[in-house]
Amino acid sequence: MLGKAIRSILINDDTVKAITTRCYPFVKIPQSPTYPFISYSIFGRGENHLQGPCGKENPRVQIDSWVRDHGEAGYSNVRTLYNAIKSALGGYTGTVETIKIGSILFIADYGEQKEPDVEALRLISDYSVWYTL
């Protein structure tokens, strides 16, 4: 459910939408995707306090920006997509897809990476998401 909410936030953001509306779970990236696109992975789930589950979730969400590797232009394009994603997600609060998002906090990015097998550039970024169902 959180994946659908993250996807909805991204593909409905005007700046992201101007670049791409293709956004996939990492495990479902098409065999021959059209670039640019976004992928996401979700790691971890429920939070606890001393008396057990507290009803809040705080997973880490990895967002990958993907563009074709066209040298310097590719680096510029992957940064443009990354910045649009960061602007859409960073500090986000609201209800999406029945999920009440308390906050989405940017953690870090890991720089541009060449993916030579698919002739692409990828920029990985991590976010902390606090939400309740």
Q: Is 118 exposed, middle or buried (0-12, 13-18, 19+ CB in 10 A)?
A: middle
> Could you give the domains of the chain?
2-132 (3.30.2000.10)
pTM of the model: 0.91
Least Cα distance to 42 among 132, 102, 133, 129 occurs for 129
Residues 6+ apart with CB under 8 A from 78: 36, 65, 66, 67, 112, 121, 122, 123
Strand boundaries in 2-119, DSSP class E: 23-25, 37-43, 46-49, 52-57, 60-68, 94-96, 99-115
- pLDDT tens series, the chain, 133 aa: 899 999 999 999 999 999 999 999 999 999 999 999 999 999 986 666 666 666 788 999 999 999 998 888 999 999 999 999 999 999 999 999 899 999 999 999 998 999 999 999 999 999 999 998 7
